[in-house]
Amino acid sequence: MSALIFILAIIIFIVADILIRMIHKKISDKRAFEERKAALEESLTLDFSQEAKTLKRVEVENPKARILAVDDEEVILDSFRKILVLDGYSVDTVESGKEALGLLQIHHYDFAFVDIKMPEMDGVEVCKSIKHLRPDIDVIIITGYASIESAVETMKYGAMDYVQKPFTEDELLAMIKKANIIRQDRIKKQLKPKVHISHATGFEEQSGDEFAIPGGVFISEGHCWVSVQQDGTVRIGIDDFAKKLIGKIDKIELPNLGMNAKRGQPLFTIKQGNRSIPLNAPVSGQVVKTNANLMEDLEVLDITPYQQNWICIIDAENLAAEIKELKIGKSAVSFYLEEIERCQNCIKELLSSNSENGELPPRSNGLCLGDFEHLDDKNWQKTVRQFFYR
């Protein structure tokens, strides 16, 4: 009986929580709508003539996007403001192309809606000018039925799409929603982590979402780097992808001198607290030297894991055959890009599962330095196996 009461109490709690959230959202949405409505009315009494003679501006809090609309028909601009502002967009409107070009040089917009037929400066010229001055702004052409061919023509100058007038509220909102999704998806792809071949030193300053591969360095599938020396030996270390994703390294267990390493078998081990990541040998041969200097200051790996920050040297016994399995140059870059995408998908799955013991920090483009550090033990083991046990 007590168990049944307990279950009912949990169900009531969950239902009450859902209802409270729904009520709170309704209240928040209504408040936001009233604030936008008030902003729309207030904006019409403000004077923006110092920026542009015909400028009318309505700004809302946390806008879905910032929009500049230019049309010589005031009734069209009135429709833009009313429809878009109430749906959560900040909107500036002007009646000439020259005013629009002046504004976009001092303000940042996501979209510019441009009428195709205007005196002095038509929509084609405005579109060309916007894409020249601010290629980051997406242009959408406003056109009538008779000018659809001209609107389509602007696509070759960089216009994103066109909207035909007269338009309904639903048509305009559907159009801007679709355009915003396309824009955000494009920006997300542009902000993806970058991989580049660096100069021989590998010491170029780079941001956290950039991955470097020094020229002439080979990369293994298990994320070791290999540099062939003049005497035929090879230096081996942890690559940039592994270092960035693992994060802080507390200790490295070096291989024994004289050890006969076999390609694909554990060579050295990265330690992070009580966790261990064995990295497999990229080539076979005898370990002839380990880097004692690196062990004294592992933080230098934060600057670069390459060059003098190697971990061991192997006298390779079958280099000619095994080197074919390694990546270099463009193939290494392609491999990194594939690994980054795999890692992003893996992290996304972990975020969606909302692991209680290992929540990841918020991120903009799917990767953060030391992502693996934030995982709980179960997800850590699962993720490490995917990227290093190969």
Task: Write out pLDDT tens, residues 10-29.
Answer: 666 565 556 666 676 666 66
Average pLDDT score over the chain: 83
Amino acid letter, 264: G
Which of the pair, 221 or 373, is modelled with greater confidence? 221
> Which pair of structure tokens corresponds to residue 71?
């049309």
Amino acid, single-letter form, for residue 109: Y
Greater confidence (274 vs 352) lies with 274
Q: Which two tokens stand for residue 185?
A: 């998806």
Distance CA 113, CA 97 (A): 11
Architecture of domain 194-333: Beta Barrel (2.40)
CATH architecture of 41-190: 3-Layer(aba) Sandwich (3.40)
Q: Are 104 and 88 in contact (CB under 8 A)?
A: no
| 19 vs 203, higher pLDDT | 19
Alpha carbons 239 and 180: distance in angstroms, whole number: 37
Report which of residues 219 and 232 the model is more confident about. 219
Which of 180-184, 319-323, 365-369 is predicted least confidently? 365-369
Asked whether the predicted pLDDT for residue 302 surpasses 90, the reply is no
- Residue 375's identity, in one-letter code, is L
Find the range with the poorest average confidence among 7-11, 233-237, 253-257: 7-11
Write the DSSP symbol of residue 232.
S
Share of the chain above pLDDT 70, in %: 76
Band (pLDDT 50/70/90 cuts) for residue 382 is confident
The answer, yes or no, to whether residue 184 has pLDDT greater than 60, is yes
Which residues 6+ apart lie within 8 Å of 335 measured at CB? 219, 221, 327
- Burial class from Cβ neighbours inside 10 Å (0-12, 13-18, 19+) for residue 72 reads middle
| Encoded tokens for 76 | 């069209």
pLDDT of 355 above 50: no
Give the pTM. Answer: 0.55
Asked if domains 41-190 and 194-333 share a fold, the reply is no
Query: pLDDT tens digits, residue range 49-77?
Result: 668 899 999 999 889 999 999 999 999 99
> What integer pLDDT is reported at residue 153 of this predicted model?
81
Fill in the DSSP letter of residue 300.
G
**Which strand (E) or helix (H) includes residue 206?**
none
Cα(268)–Cα(263) distance, integer angstroms: 12
pLDDT tens digits along 117-152: 898 898 899 999 999 999 999 999 998 865 778 778
Domain boundaries, the chain: 41-190, 194-333
pLDDT of 39 reads 58
